């Protein structure tokens, strides 16, 4: 997951800085970002399954079980937030490519 998060961060920083220069570079970045989005989604699903197992195996109340699950699987919330943000950057890159294509 560390490599995936670093790759996502590097691509977004490059995109934000504007140093990607060419349409082909932007396409490559979009492809890489989309692939990393997929791998992070897989990790998010694995995290959710671990979180869900903790909740259902707990003998306490649902609230207490969820609190404990959040403590034991903090990456679930982290990956969910990063996936949302990454999705918005992917949409932005697609829009930029579309604008360039129409020019």
What was the pLDDT predicted at 1? 87
Task: List the chain domain ranges.
Answer: 2-10+22-102
Structural Rg of the chain based on CA atoms: 18
Low-confidence ranges of the chain (pLDDT < 50): none
What was the pLDDT predicted at 74? 96
What was the pLDDT predicted at 19? 87
What was the pLDDT predicted at 20? 83
Q: pTM for this one?
A: 0.88
| Run of H or E including 58 | none
Specify the long-range contacts of residues 9-18, CB closer than 8 Å, at least 24 apart.
11/36, 12/86, 12/89, 15/89, 15/92, 15/93
């Amino acid at each position: 997951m560390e490599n995936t998060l670093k790759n996502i961060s590097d691509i977004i920083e490059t995109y934000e800085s504007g140093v990607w220069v060419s349409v082909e570079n932007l396409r490559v970045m979009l492809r890489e970002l989309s692939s990393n989005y997929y791998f992070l989604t897989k990790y998010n699903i694995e995290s959710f399954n671990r979180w869900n197992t903790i909740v259902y195996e707990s003998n306490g109340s649902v609230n207490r079980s969820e609190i404990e699950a959040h403590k034991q699987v903090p990456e679930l919330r982290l990956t969910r937030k990063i996936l949302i943000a990454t999705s918005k950057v992917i949409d932005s890159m697609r829009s930029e490519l579309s604008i360039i294509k129409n020019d």
